A and B are shown apart, each in its own frame.
Chain A
Amino acid sequence: MSVSFTPAAVRARADPMLPGLAVVRGVKPEAYGVSTFSLALADPAEAAAYRFLPGQFNMLYLPGFGEVAISVSSDPFEPQLIGHTIRFAGSVTRGLARLQPGDALGLRGPYGSAWPLEQARGRDLVIVAGGIGLAPLRPVVLSVLRERAAYGRVLLLYGGRTPPDLLYTEEFERWQAAGIETHVTVDRASEDWRGQVGVVPQLFYRIRLDPRRTVVFTCGPEIMMRFVIYEALARRLPKEGVYLSMERNMKCAVGFCGHCQFGPTFLCRQGPVLNFAAIEPFFGREDF
């Protein structure tokens, strides 16, 4: 019932639950309570073999704290430095927040499906993200920038709660200059904010889409994605042209723990990136 994509080579391990060793190379605060950690695998052979596709994630393990699923937010063309933009939410992510350059942690992956960039080639691509949801889409932006001419119009619609919550803002200018039409909104503005105020789906009112040649990639809170899909379909985009990345509790990422089930879909395997048409019967259902 769900779409899957060819995943990058998952590191072959006799024990798929056993993490590899990674070392923090850099920490960059992005917003209040969010930082990007650049990690390198300690084993030179593993580091050299590591590849990921935009949208895939790793399991990051801090012994004594636990393990969490975190998308790769860095450039897939430079897989030796693995970037993870982490929001410090609860017990494990707050433990990760304390990591400094040189510190060690566990990493296994990459796992899951990827954004189908090949489907966007030669067409228009609309990237719609809310809050931390831009993290798994940043590798899409960076991939597009490497081959900008291969795509038609590329738009980024992005929103956060308040201006200081927005991620990667210092890169927006470069993205815009390189041909990514960027629209940003916040729920609540500060006095010096001169951009849009309102929720992300409202940004659809500022753009024009050609439904026959547009693909939408979206990631953010589920309620936001619901309205994004609503706006996209209202503009006559086919359901098959909409992809979203979903989140559920996840303990193992290899299909054993059962936690990330979303109806017939294991989000760690067929997801997290899913085609809307494939999951429509289950999506937006209360408490599912």
Chain B
Amino acid sequence: MAPSLPRVGARLTLAKSSLEQVFANLRAAGFTLIGPRLRDAALVLEEVTGLNDLPRGWRDQQAPGQYRVVPGQDSFYFDHLVGPHSWKQFLHPARLKLFGAAKNNGTWSFQSATAPPPRYAFIGVRACDLAAIARQDRVFLAGEFRDPHYAARRESLFLLAVNCGRAAPTCFCRSLQTGPRVTGGFDLALTELADVFVLEVGSEAGAEMLRETAWQPATALHASRAEEAVRQTESQIERELRTDDLPKLLYDNLEHPRWDEVARRCLACGNCTLVCPTCFCTTVEDASNLAGTRVERTRLWDSCFTLDFSHVHGGNSRPTLRARYRQWLTHKLASWKDQFGALGCVGCGRCITWCPVGIELTEEVKAIREKAA
């Protein structure tokens, strides 16, 4: 057993079974662990309690409009890639109680939701998803107003990241320089080899969670095999999104015929915005008792593909599907940059996989560029 804790920045090797101790340390420190699990033929993010909950030996097969879970490399816990869930559902829940209102003696009182948020440890965060968390940070934490609900979850978060050992045909993180290599913003990052994990320590908190594990300084061989694994993933990525002419390309082509063309294929189901790890839009809803004296206000995820989203009394500012698809694409790839200093896309490919008709954001941009104004 190692005599002390590793320093921040150290590279270690860790027997795969030792991850169990890391999980135990996290639980003992009060964290709720969230990680990948196989559920209803998809790899989803849910609470995990031990190593056995992870989808060892399973991987996903992804293509535009297609997703399947199939057997993968037997000894691998993280052979899969990103699935229908993203971490935003824990930091920015799909349903969240904002506050309650109570009427007594003819007057109202408003009370913030008081339930303390769980302390989450995310297990197996990919590079693209780390970038997505950083982009939502800009929305909820960096502006004039701070969202206290997001802040509370974010501040107590522990991040165990994973370098991708393979890429799907839907992945294009390389174009957005968000992956596949995890480069920062994590507590621990692991690269999975057939026999061991190669681990990088990203913070004091990360080092702390290695207590009582049999970590070793990484051998040169392990370190270079880990490097090679990520390099290989990088070379597998074929999908591309040219970003050098964004946002201008889209702003200059707001009346491009392609918007009409894609509107004929798009179903306005909103899947792309729901699976997108950076989409942040919400609506609100009141539920009250029969007397109308106790009201609970809830915030729910919303999508710019719904008609309600752009309803204004007596009309709608985006009545057509063309306008709504244009909002999605120009927001992700143009106006996000003006609003938050970075694109709203991290190249995870979820919107491509989960679009029921297989619309590919990357292809839409290409088509616009080909006949650009």
Contacts and interface: CB of A to CB of B under 8 A. Distances in A.
Given A248-B312, A287-B322, A288-B323, A256 B147 contact: yes
A64 B251 CA distance: 40
Given A249-B309, A288-B323, A63 B286 contact: yes
Contact of B309 (A93, A259, A266, A269): A259
A256 B145 contact: yes
Contacts of A65: 286
Nearest to A287: B323
Contact of B112 (A15, A42, A66, A249): A15
Interface string B180-218: 000000000000000000000000000000000000000
B317 A248 contact: yes
Interface stretch (B4-12, B101-109, B222-230, B349-357): B101-109
A261 interface: yes
Interface string A1-18: 100000000100011111
A104 interface: yes
Interface string A235-270: 000000000000111011011111101011010010
Contact of A64 (B139, B295, B310, B334): B295
A220 interface: no
A287 B295 contact: no
A281 interface: yes
A284 B320 CA distance: 16
A49 interface: no
Interface string B131-145: 000000001100111
Nearest to A14: B148
B338 interface: yes
A77 to B, nearest CB: 25
Contacts of A90: 313
A106 interface: yes
A105 B99 contact: no
B49 interface: no
B280 A258 contact: yes
Contacts of B99: 15, 17-18
Interface in B4-37: none
A98 interface: no
B302 interface: yes
A258 B101 contact: no
B313 A89 contact: yes
Contacts of B317: 248-249, 287-288
Nearest to B291: A64
A266 B281 CA distance: 12
A280 to B, nearest CB: 12
B318 A288 contact: yes
B311 A257 contact: no
A77 B357 CA distance: 57
B174 to A, nearest CB: 27
Most buried by B among A17, A89, A104, A254: A17
B86 interface: no
Interface in B283-342: 283-284, 286, 288, 292, 295, 297, 299, 302, 304, 309-314, 317-320, 322-323, 327, 330-331, 334-335, 338-339
B44 interface: no
Given A89-B313, A104-B106, A256-B139, A16 B146 contact: yes
A251 B282 contact: yes
A251 B334 CA distance: 23
Interface string B104-132: 00111110100000000000000000000
Contact of B254 (A16, A23, A285): A285
B244 to A, nearest CB: 19
A152 interface: no
Contacts of B146: 16
B98 interface: yes
Contacts of B334: 264
B143 A64 contact: no
A79 interface: no
B107 A269 contact: no
Given A103-B106, A263-B330, A288-B254, 13 more contacts: A63-B295, A64-B295, A66-B284, A104-B103, A104-B107, A106-B101, A251-B284, A255-B143, A256-B147, A257-B284, A269-B144, A281-B251, A288-B323
3 A-B pairs with least C-beta separation? A258-B281, A264-B338, A287-B323
